[in-house]
Structure 1
Amino acid sequence: MAAEDDHDDRLGHRARLRRRFLEAGAEALADYELLELLLFQARPRGDVKPLSKRLVARFGSFAEAVSAPADALARVDGMGEASVAALKTAHAAATRLLGQAIRDRPVLSSWSQLLDYCRVAMASLPVEEVRVLYLDRKNRLIRDERQGRGTVDHTPLYPREVVKRALELGASALIVVHNHPSGDPSPSQADIAMTRQLSEAAAALGLVLHDHLIVARGGHTSFRSAGLL
Protein backbone atom coordinates (compact mmCIF):
# COMPACT_ATOMS: atom_id res chain seq x y z
CA MET A 1 0.00 0.00 0.00
CA ALA A 2 2.85 2.39 0.86
CA ALA A 3 4.46 1.85 -2.53
CA GLU A 4 1.16 2.60 -4.26
CA ASP A 5 0.77 5.79 -2.20
CA ASP A 6 4.31 6.85 -3.17
CA HIS A 7 3.48 6.25 -6.84
CA ASP A 8 0.30 8.33 -6.59
CA ASP A 9 2.18 11.12 -4.82
CA ARG A 10 4.81 11.23 -7.58
CA LEU A 11 2.11 11.41 -10.23
CA GLY A 12 0.44 14.20 -8.27
CA HIS A 13 3.74 16.08 -8.01
CA ARG A 14 4.25 15.87 -11.78
CA ALA A 15 0.73 17.10 -12.48
CA ARG A 16 1.08 19.99 -10.01
CA LEU A 17 4.44 21.02 -11.45
CA ARG A 18 3.14 20.98 -15.02
CA ARG A 19 0.08 22.98 -13.99
CA ARG A 20 2.19 25.58 -12.18
CA PHE A 21 4.42 25.93 -15.24
CA LEU A 22 1.48 26.36 -17.62
CA GLU A 23 -0.38 28.80 -15.38
CA ALA A 24 2.48 30.89 -13.96
CA GLY A 25 5.28 30.41 -16.48
CA ALA A 26 8.91 29.43 -16.15
CA GLU A 27 9.61 32.35 -13.82
CA ALA A 28 7.59 30.61 -11.11
CA LEU A 29 9.83 27.55 -11.15
CA ALA A 30 13.28 26.98 -9.70
CA ASP A 31 16.03 25.75 -12.01
CA TYR A 32 15.79 22.19 -10.73
CA GLU A 33 12.03 22.21 -11.34
CA LEU A 34 12.50 23.18 -14.99
CA LEU A 35 14.95 20.31 -15.28
CA GLU A 36 12.36 18.03 -13.73
CA LEU A 37 9.90 18.98 -16.49
CA LEU A 38 12.42 18.01 -19.14
CA LEU A 39 13.32 14.76 -17.40
CA PHE A 40 9.66 13.79 -17.14
CA GLN A 41 9.77 13.27 -20.92
CA ALA A 42 12.66 10.83 -20.61
CA ARG A 43 11.62 9.10 -17.40
CA PRO A 44 7.85 8.54 -17.24
CA ARG A 45 8.19 6.85 -13.85
CA GLY A 46 10.14 7.60 -10.72
CA ASP A 47 11.20 10.65 -8.77
CA VAL A 48 13.52 12.85 -10.85
CA LYS A 49 13.82 15.66 -8.31
CA PRO A 50 17.06 14.29 -6.75
CA LEU A 51 18.60 13.96 -10.22
CA SER A 52 17.52 17.49 -11.13
CA LYS A 53 19.13 18.86 -7.99
CA ARG A 54 22.34 16.92 -8.73
CA LEU A 55 22.46 18.53 -12.17
CA VAL A 56 22.11 22.04 -10.71
CA ALA A 57 24.74 21.25 -8.08
CA ARG A 58 27.11 19.92 -10.75
CA PHE A 59 26.66 22.60 -13.41
CA GLY A 60 25.38 25.59 -11.45
CA SER A 61 22.10 26.43 -13.19
CA PHE A 62 19.42 25.24 -15.60
CA ALA A 63 21.10 27.04 -18.50
CA GLU A 64 24.51 25.56 -17.75
CA ALA A 65 23.04 22.08 -17.39
CA VAL A 66 21.25 22.03 -20.75
CA SER A 67 24.28 23.66 -22.40
CA ALA A 68 26.73 21.11 -20.99
CA PRO A 69 28.31 18.61 -23.40
CA ALA A 70 26.47 15.32 -23.68
CA ASP A 71 29.40 13.33 -22.32
CA ALA A 72 29.57 15.55 -19.22
CA LEU A 73 25.85 15.06 -18.62
CA ALA A 74 26.21 11.31 -19.03
CA ARG A 75 28.74 11.23 -16.19
CA VAL A 76 26.15 12.51 -13.69
CA ASP A 77 24.76 9.64 -11.64
CA GLY A 78 21.30 8.72 -12.91
CA MET A 79 21.63 10.30 -16.38
CA GLY A 80 20.91 7.75 -19.09
CA GLU A 81 20.79 8.25 -22.83
CA ALA A 82 17.14 9.34 -22.86
CA SER A 83 17.73 11.91 -20.12
CA VAL A 84 20.78 13.34 -21.89
CA ALA A 85 18.78 13.53 -25.13
CA ALA A 86 15.95 15.39 -23.36
CA LEU A 87 18.30 18.11 -22.08
CA LYS A 88 20.24 18.42 -25.33
CA THR A 89 16.97 18.69 -27.27
CA ALA A 90 16.05 21.70 -25.13
CA HIS A 91 19.44 23.25 -25.88
CA ALA A 92 19.08 22.58 -29.61
CA ALA A 93 15.61 24.13 -29.59
CA ALA A 94 16.88 27.28 -27.87
CA THR A 95 19.76 27.58 -30.34
CA ARG A 96 17.46 27.15 -33.33
CA LEU A 97 14.95 29.69 -32.03
CA LEU A 98 17.65 32.28 -31.40
CA GLY A 99 19.22 31.58 -34.78
CA GLN A 100 15.89 32.14 -36.48
CA ALA A 101 15.60 35.54 -34.77
CA ILE A 102 18.65 36.86 -36.65
CA ARG A 103 17.73 35.50 -40.06
CA ASP A 104 16.12 37.63 -42.77
CA ARG A 105 16.87 40.88 -40.94
CA PRO A 106 19.97 43.12 -40.74
CA VAL A 107 22.32 41.51 -38.25
CA LEU A 108 23.84 44.80 -37.14
CA SER A 109 20.45 46.04 -35.97
CA SER A 110 19.81 42.77 -34.12
CA TRP A 111 23.05 42.77 -32.17
CA SER A 112 21.67 41.63 -28.81
CA GLN A 113 19.91 38.69 -30.49
CA LEU A 114 23.14 37.82 -32.28
CA LEU A 115 25.05 37.79 -28.99
CA ASP A 116 22.38 35.63 -27.36
CA TYR A 117 22.56 33.17 -30.23
CA CYS A 118 26.36 32.97 -30.13
CA ARG A 119 26.47 32.51 -26.36
CA VAL A 120 23.86 29.76 -26.36
CA ALA A 121 25.38 27.98 -29.36
CA MET A 122 29.05 28.24 -28.39
CA ALA A 123 29.91 29.50 -24.91
CA SER A 124 29.76 26.08 -23.22
CA LEU A 125 31.55 24.06 -25.89
CA PRO A 126 34.44 22.00 -24.45
CA VAL A 127 36.85 22.96 -27.26
CA GLU A 128 37.35 26.06 -29.36
CA GLU A 129 35.20 26.46 -32.43
CA VAL A 130 35.21 29.21 -35.05
CA ARG A 131 32.08 30.24 -36.94
CA VAL A 132 31.85 32.75 -39.75
CA LEU A 133 28.63 34.63 -40.43
CA TYR A 134 28.48 35.63 -44.08
CA LEU A 135 26.31 38.70 -44.78
CA ASP A 136 24.85 40.27 -47.91
CA ARG A 137 24.97 43.96 -48.88
CA LYS A 138 22.11 44.72 -46.48
CA ASN A 139 23.92 42.87 -43.69
CA ARG A 140 21.40 40.06 -43.70
CA LEU A 141 22.67 36.59 -42.88
CA ILE A 142 23.45 34.45 -45.92
CA ARG A 143 25.14 31.57 -44.14
CA ASP A 144 26.38 30.63 -40.67
CA GLU A 145 29.21 28.12 -41.08
CA ARG A 146 31.58 26.40 -38.73
CA GLN A 147 35.01 27.17 -40.12
CA GLY A 148 37.06 25.10 -37.73
CA ARG A 149 37.16 23.14 -34.49
CA GLY A 150 40.29 22.81 -32.42
CA THR A 151 41.54 22.18 -28.90
CA VAL A 152 40.67 23.71 -25.54
CA ASP A 153 42.72 26.81 -26.35
CA HIS A 154 43.32 26.99 -30.09
CA THR A 155 41.48 26.75 -33.39
CA PRO A 156 43.24 27.50 -36.67
CA LEU A 157 41.53 29.97 -39.00
CA TYR A 158 42.84 30.51 -42.52
CA PRO A 159 41.96 33.97 -43.90
CA ARG A 160 42.37 32.80 -47.50
CA GLU A 161 39.74 30.08 -47.03
CA VAL A 162 37.34 32.47 -45.32
CA VAL A 163 37.45 35.11 -48.06
CA LYS A 164 37.30 32.43 -50.76
CA ARG A 165 34.11 31.10 -49.21
CA ALA A 166 32.70 34.63 -48.94
CA LEU A 167 33.19 35.13 -52.67
CA GLU A 168 31.58 31.76 -53.42
CA LEU A 169 28.50 32.80 -51.42
CA GLY A 170 28.36 36.29 -52.87
CA ALA A 171 28.83 37.80 -49.40
CA SER A 172 29.76 41.44 -48.84
CA ALA A 173 30.63 41.31 -45.14
CA LEU A 174 31.68 38.94 -42.38
CA ILE A 175 31.44 38.45 -38.65
CA VAL A 176 33.77 35.93 -37.03
CA VAL A 177 32.81 34.27 -33.76
CA HIS A 178 34.75 31.89 -31.59
CA ASN A 179 34.53 30.62 -28.04
CA HIS A 180 36.96 30.33 -25.14
CA PRO A 181 36.28 27.15 -23.12
CA SER A 182 38.30 28.64 -20.24
CA GLY A 183 35.40 31.00 -19.54
CA ASP A 184 37.55 34.11 -20.08
CA PRO A 185 36.59 36.05 -23.25
CA SER A 186 39.81 38.10 -23.31
CA PRO A 187 41.53 37.88 -26.73
CA SER A 188 44.97 36.35 -27.00
CA GLN A 189 47.77 37.85 -29.08
CA ALA A 190 47.16 35.07 -31.60
CA ASP A 191 43.47 36.08 -31.80
CA ILE A 192 44.45 39.70 -32.43
CA ALA A 193 47.03 38.83 -35.09
CA MET A 194 44.65 36.48 -36.92
CA THR A 195 41.89 39.10 -36.92
CA ARG A 196 44.17 41.70 -38.46
CA GLN A 197 45.25 39.25 -41.16
CA LEU A 198 41.64 38.40 -41.96
CA SER A 199 40.60 42.07 -42.02
CA GLU A 200 43.38 42.89 -44.48
CA ALA A 201 42.61 39.88 -46.69
CA ALA A 202 38.92 40.79 -46.73
CA ALA A 203 39.54 44.46 -47.50
CA ALA A 204 41.79 43.53 -50.44
CA LEU A 205 38.77 41.88 -52.06
CA GLY A 206 36.22 44.53 -51.14
CA LEU A 207 34.79 42.63 -48.18
CA VAL A 208 34.11 44.12 -44.74
CA LEU A 209 34.96 42.34 -41.49
CA HIS A 210 32.37 43.91 -39.19
CA ASP A 211 33.56 42.26 -35.99
CA HIS A 212 35.25 39.35 -34.31
CA LEU A 213 33.36 38.14 -31.23
CA ILE A 214 34.73 35.92 -28.49
CA VAL A 215 32.06 34.29 -26.36
CA ALA A 216 32.61 32.48 -23.08
CA ARG A 217 30.76 31.59 -19.91
CA GLY A 218 32.27 34.73 -18.38
CA GLY A 219 30.90 37.12 -21.01
CA HIS A 220 31.97 38.25 -24.45
CA THR A 221 34.47 40.52 -26.21
CA SER A 222 33.80 42.52 -29.36
CA PHE A 223 37.01 43.39 -31.22
CA ARG A 224 35.25 46.39 -32.77
CA SER A 225 34.13 47.76 -29.40
CA ALA A 226 37.55 47.07 -27.88
CA GLY A 227 39.28 49.07 -30.61
CA LEU A 228 41.08 45.98 -31.95
CA LEU A 229 39.48 46.15 -35.38
Structure 2
Amino acid sequence: MADGDASPDTAGHRARLRERLLARGGGDALLDHELIEYLLALAIPRRDTKPLAKALLWEFGGIGGLLTADAEALTRIPGMGETATAAIKIAHAAALRLLHGAVAARPVLGNWQALLDYLHADMAHHAIERFRVLHLNTRNMLIRDEVMSQGSIDQASVHVREVIRRAIDLGAAAIILVHNHPSGDPAPSRADIDITRAIADAARPLGIAVHDHIVIGAQGHVSLRAKGLI
Protein backbone atom coordinates (compact mmCIF):
# COMPACT_ATOMS: atom_id res chain seq x y z
CA MET A 1 0.00 0.00 0.00
CA ALA A 2 1.05 3.61 -0.43
CA ASP A 3 2.88 5.54 2.29
CA GLY A 4 0.16 8.15 1.87
CA ASP A 5 -2.10 6.02 4.04
CA ALA A 6 0.02 7.12 7.03
CA SER A 7 0.10 10.53 8.73
CA PRO A 8 2.15 13.23 6.95
CA ASP A 9 4.98 13.00 9.50
CA THR A 10 5.11 9.22 9.30
CA ALA A 11 4.90 9.25 5.50
CA GLY A 12 7.77 11.73 5.32
CA HIS A 13 9.89 9.60 7.64
CA ARG A 14 9.22 6.51 5.55
CA ALA A 15 10.11 8.40 2.38
CA ARG A 16 13.47 9.27 3.91
CA LEU A 17 14.05 5.64 4.90
CA ARG A 18 13.13 4.57 1.37
CA GLU A 19 15.53 7.08 -0.13
CA ARG A 20 18.39 5.82 2.04
CA LEU A 21 17.52 2.23 1.21
CA LEU A 22 17.38 2.74 -2.54
CA ALA A 23 19.98 5.43 -3.12
CA ARG A 24 22.56 5.23 -0.36
CA GLY A 25 23.95 1.75 -0.18
CA GLY A 26 20.94 -0.52 0.28
CA GLY A 27 20.25 -2.24 3.60
CA ASP A 28 23.59 -1.14 5.05
CA ALA A 29 22.24 2.42 5.08
CA LEU A 30 19.57 1.46 7.64
CA LEU A 31 19.86 0.42 11.28
CA ASP A 32 18.27 -2.85 12.38
CA HIS A 33 15.19 -1.15 13.81
CA GLU A 34 14.80 0.90 10.63
CA LEU A 35 14.86 -2.22 8.46
CA ILE A 36 12.14 -3.83 10.58
CA GLU A 37 10.22 -0.56 10.81
CA TYR A 38 10.06 -0.22 7.03
CA LEU A 39 9.17 -3.89 6.56
CA LEU A 40 6.29 -3.55 9.03
CA ALA A 41 5.16 -0.34 7.34
CA LEU A 42 4.43 -2.32 4.19
CA ALA A 43 2.12 -4.58 6.20
CA ILE A 44 0.49 -1.96 8.47
CA PRO A 45 0.83 1.34 6.55
CA ARG A 46 -1.46 3.45 8.72
CA ARG A 47 0.68 3.10 11.86
CA ASP A 48 3.97 4.50 13.04
CA THR A 49 5.88 1.21 13.14
CA LYS A 50 9.10 2.45 14.76
CA PRO A 51 7.97 1.70 18.36
CA LEU A 52 6.78 -1.76 17.33
CA ALA A 53 10.05 -2.50 15.51
CA LYS A 54 12.09 -1.51 18.57
CA ALA A 55 9.82 -3.55 20.87
CA LEU A 56 10.22 -6.64 18.68
CA LEU A 57 14.00 -6.37 18.54
CA TRP A 58 14.16 -5.97 22.31
CA GLU A 59 11.78 -8.88 22.95
CA PHE A 60 13.62 -11.32 20.67
CA GLY A 61 17.17 -10.14 21.35
CA GLY A 62 17.97 -8.66 17.95
CA ILE A 63 17.21 -9.15 14.28
CA GLY A 64 18.33 -12.80 14.20
CA GLY A 65 16.05 -13.82 17.04
CA LEU A 66 13.18 -11.81 15.57
CA LEU A 67 13.36 -13.31 12.09
CA THR A 68 13.58 -16.87 13.44
CA ALA A 69 10.83 -16.45 16.05
CA ASP A 70 7.81 -18.64 15.41
CA ALA A 71 4.56 -17.09 14.28
CA GLU A 72 2.74 -17.76 17.54
CA ALA A 73 5.40 -15.94 19.56
CA LEU A 74 5.25 -12.97 17.17
CA THR A 75 1.48 -12.64 17.35
CA ARG A 76 1.62 -12.45 21.15
CA ILE A 77 3.36 -9.07 20.86
CA PRO A 78 0.83 -6.20 21.07
CA GLY A 79 0.37 -4.68 17.64
CA MET A 80 1.42 -7.80 15.72
CA GLY A 81 -1.44 -9.21 13.69
CA GLU A 82 -1.31 -11.92 11.04
CA THR A 83 -0.26 -9.55 8.25
CA ALA A 84 2.67 -8.08 10.19
CA THR A 85 3.72 -11.55 11.38
CA ALA A 86 3.62 -12.83 7.81
CA ALA A 87 5.86 -9.94 6.73
CA ILE A 88 8.51 -10.97 9.25
CA LYS A 89 8.30 -14.62 8.26
CA ILE A 90 8.46 -13.93 4.51
CA ALA A 91 11.61 -11.85 5.02
CA HIS A 92 13.19 -14.76 6.90
CA ALA A 93 12.07 -17.26 4.28
CA ALA A 94 13.54 -15.14 1.48
CA ALA A 95 16.87 -14.84 3.30
CA LEU A 96 17.02 -18.59 3.88
CA ARG A 97 16.15 -19.31 0.24
CA LEU A 98 19.05 -17.13 -0.86
CA LEU A 99 21.51 -18.76 1.56
CA HIS A 100 20.30 -22.28 0.74
CA GLY A 101 20.83 -21.60 -2.95
CA ALA A 102 24.46 -20.76 -2.26
CA VAL A 103 24.90 -24.05 -0.38
CA ALA A 104 23.19 -26.17 -3.04
CA ALA A 105 25.15 -24.69 -5.94
CA ARG A 106 28.56 -26.13 -5.05
CA PRO A 107 30.10 -29.13 -3.23
CA VAL A 108 29.49 -28.56 0.45
CA LEU A 109 33.00 -29.33 1.67
CA GLY A 110 34.43 -26.67 -0.63
CA ASN A 111 31.75 -24.17 0.34
CA TRP A 112 31.90 -24.47 4.12
CA GLN A 113 31.35 -20.82 5.03
CA ALA A 114 28.18 -20.67 2.93
CA LEU A 115 26.91 -23.73 4.81
CA LEU A 116 27.67 -22.15 8.18
CA ASP A 117 25.96 -18.89 7.15
CA TYR A 118 22.84 -20.81 6.13
CA LEU A 119 22.73 -22.94 9.27
CA HIS A 120 23.32 -19.98 11.55
CA ALA A 121 20.54 -17.96 9.90
CA ASP A 122 18.14 -20.86 10.17
CA MET A 123 18.98 -22.33 13.59
CA ALA A 124 21.03 -20.08 15.85
CA HIS A 125 18.11 -18.36 17.55
CA HIS A 126 15.53 -21.15 17.73
CA ALA A 127 14.04 -21.64 21.18
CA ILE A 128 13.68 -25.40 20.55
CA GLU A 129 16.57 -27.78 19.92
CA ARG A 130 16.39 -29.29 16.44
CA PHE A 131 18.44 -32.10 14.92
CA ARG A 132 18.87 -32.16 11.16
CA VAL A 133 20.81 -34.21 8.66
CA LEU A 134 22.35 -32.95 5.44
CA HIS A 135 22.56 -35.79 2.90
CA LEU A 136 25.33 -35.56 0.28
CA ASN A 137 26.10 -37.49 -2.89
CA THR A 138 29.48 -38.82 -3.99
CA ARG A 139 30.45 -35.31 -5.19
CA ASN A 140 29.48 -33.86 -1.80
CA MET A 141 26.58 -32.01 -3.38
CA LEU A 142 23.51 -31.56 -1.19
CA ILE A 143 20.78 -34.12 -1.87
CA ARG A 144 18.42 -33.35 0.99
CA ASP A 145 18.35 -31.24 4.15
CA GLU A 146 15.92 -32.64 6.70
CA VAL A 147 14.94 -31.92 10.30
CA MET A 148 14.70 -35.34 11.93
CA SER A 149 13.77 -34.52 15.52
CA GLN A 150 13.01 -31.77 17.99
CA GLY A 151 13.84 -31.62 21.65
CA SER A 152 16.96 -32.57 23.60
CA ILE A 153 19.50 -34.46 21.53
CA ASP A 154 20.11 -37.93 22.96
CA GLN A 155 19.59 -41.50 21.88
CA ALA A 156 15.98 -41.38 23.06
CA SER A 157 15.05 -38.59 20.64
CA VAL A 158 17.50 -39.29 17.81
CA HIS A 159 17.28 -42.89 16.66
CA VAL A 160 20.45 -44.10 15.00
CA ARG A 161 18.60 -46.61 12.83
CA GLU A 162 16.26 -43.91 11.50
CA VAL A 163 19.19 -41.67 10.55
CA ILE A 164 20.96 -44.53 8.75
CA ARG A 165 17.79 -45.80 7.06
CA ARG A 166 17.02 -42.35 5.69
CA ALA A 167 20.56 -41.98 4.35
CA ILE A 168 20.22 -45.34 2.58
CA ASP A 169 16.79 -44.40 1.18
CA LEU A 170 18.24 -41.21 -0.31
CA GLY A 171 21.36 -42.91 -1.63
CA ALA A 172 23.59 -40.63 0.42
CA ALA A 173 27.32 -41.21 0.26
CA ALA A 174 27.90 -38.95 3.25
CA ILE A 175 25.98 -37.02 5.86
CA ILE A 176 26.54 -33.97 8.03
CA LEU A 177 24.73 -33.85 11.38
CA VAL A 178 23.59 -30.49 12.71
CA HIS A 179 21.73 -29.28 15.75
CA ASN A 180 21.30 -26.06 17.69
CA HIS A 181 21.69 -25.12 21.33
CA PRO A 182 18.94 -22.68 22.38
CA SER A 183 21.15 -21.55 25.29
CA GLY A 184 23.39 -19.88 22.70
CA ASP A 185 26.50 -21.79 23.80
CA PRO A 186 27.53 -24.21 21.02
CA ALA A 187 29.85 -26.31 23.22
CA PRO A 188 28.91 -29.99 22.60
CA SER A 189 27.45 -32.01 25.45
CA ARG A 190 28.33 -35.59 26.34
CA ALA A 191 25.07 -36.66 24.68
CA ASP A 192 26.04 -34.80 21.49
CA ILE A 193 29.34 -36.66 21.34
CA ASP A 194 27.78 -40.04 22.12
CA ILE A 195 25.06 -39.81 19.46
CA THR A 196 27.61 -38.63 16.88
CA ARG A 197 29.87 -41.61 17.51
CA ALA A 198 26.93 -44.03 17.50
CA ILE A 199 25.76 -42.76 14.10
CA ALA A 200 29.32 -42.79 12.69
CA ASP A 201 29.87 -46.36 13.91
CA ALA A 202 26.61 -47.51 12.30
CA ALA A 203 27.28 -45.69 9.03
CA ARG A 204 30.88 -46.82 8.51
CA PRO A 205 30.22 -50.46 7.53
CA LEU A 206 27.67 -49.26 4.98
CA GLY A 207 30.16 -46.96 3.29
CA ILE A 208 28.38 -43.79 4.47
CA ALA A 209 30.74 -41.13 5.79
CA VAL A 210 29.82 -38.82 8.65
CA HIS A 211 31.73 -35.72 7.64
CA ASP A 212 30.88 -33.70 10.74
CA HIS A 213 28.45 -32.81 13.47
CA ILE A 214 28.01 -29.05 13.72
CA VAL A 215 26.50 -27.48 16.84
CA ILE A 216 24.99 -24.06 16.19
CA GLY A 217 24.37 -21.40 18.84
CA ALA A 218 23.82 -17.66 18.94
CA GLN A 219 27.43 -17.36 20.16
CA GLY A 220 28.86 -19.25 17.17
CA HIS A 221 29.35 -22.86 16.16
CA VAL A 222 31.46 -25.91 17.04
CA SER A 223 32.57 -28.63 14.64
CA LEU A 224 32.99 -31.98 16.38
CA ARG A 225 35.30 -33.04 13.56
CA ALA A 226 37.57 -30.04 14.15
CA LYS A 227 37.58 -30.83 17.88
CA GLY A 228 38.71 -34.40 17.18
CA LEU A 229 35.51 -35.83 18.67
CA ILE A 230 34.55 -38.00 15.68
TM-score, structure 2 normalization: 0.92
How far is 1:27 from its partner?
A: 1.1
How far is 1:31 from its partner?
A: 0.8
Q: Which digits, 9 at most, give the CA deviation of each residue in 1:64-93, with x for residues without a partner?
A: 222222222222222122111111111111
User: Letter of the aligned partner of 2:90 in structure 1?
Assistant: T
- Report the Cα distance in structure 2 between the residues aligned to 1:56 and 1:88, rounded to whole angstroms: 14
- Report the Cα distance in structure 2 between the residues aligned to 1:71 and 1:219, rounded to whole angstroms: 26
CA RMSD of aligned residues (A): 1.7
Q: Tell me what 2:212 maps to.
A: 211
Q: Which digits, 9 at most, give the CA deviation of each residue in 1:106-139, with x for residues without a partner?
A: 0001101101111111112221111100000110
User: Letter of the aligned partner of 1:7 in structure 2?
Assistant: S
For residue 104 of structure 2, give the secondary structure of its aligned residue in structure 1: coil
User: Does 2:168 correspond to 1:160?
Assistant: no
For residue 222 of structure 2, give the secondary structure of its aligned residue in structure 1: strand
Q: Tell me what 1:16 maps to.
A: 16
| Kept in 1: contact 2:149–2:158 (CA 8 A) | yes
TM-score, structure 1 normalization: 0.92
Q: Which digits, 9 at most, give the CA deviation of each residue in 1:171-202, with x for residues without a partner?
A: 10000001111111111111111100100111
| Kept in 1: contact 2:64–2:125 (CA 8 A) | no
User: Does 2:51 correspond to 1:53?
Assistant: no
- Gaps of at least 5 residues in structure 2 are none
Q: Tell me what 1:221 maps to.
A: 222
| Kept in 2: contact 1:179–1:214 (CA 8 A) | yes
Q: How does 1:102-181 map to 2 (within 5 A)?
A: 102-151=103-152, 156-181=157-182
How far is 1:214 from its partner?
A: 0.7
User: Letter of the aligned partner of 2:225 in structure 1?
Assistant: R
| Kept in 2: contact 1:202–1:209 (CA 8 A) | yes
Moved over 4 A (4+): none
- Report the Cα distance in structure 1 between the residues aligned to 2:142 and 2:110, rounded to whole angstroms: 12
For residue 210 of structure 1, give the secondary structure of its aligned residue in structure 2: strand
- Report the Cα distance in structure 1 between the residues aligned to 2:172 and 2:55, rounded to whole angstroms: 46
User: Letter of the aligned partner of 1:202 in structure 2?
Assistant: A
| Count of aligned residue pairs for this structure pair | 224
Q: Tell me what 2:194 maps to.
A: 193
- Report the Cα distance in structure 1 between the residues aligned to 2:143 and 2:206, rounded to whole angstroms: 18
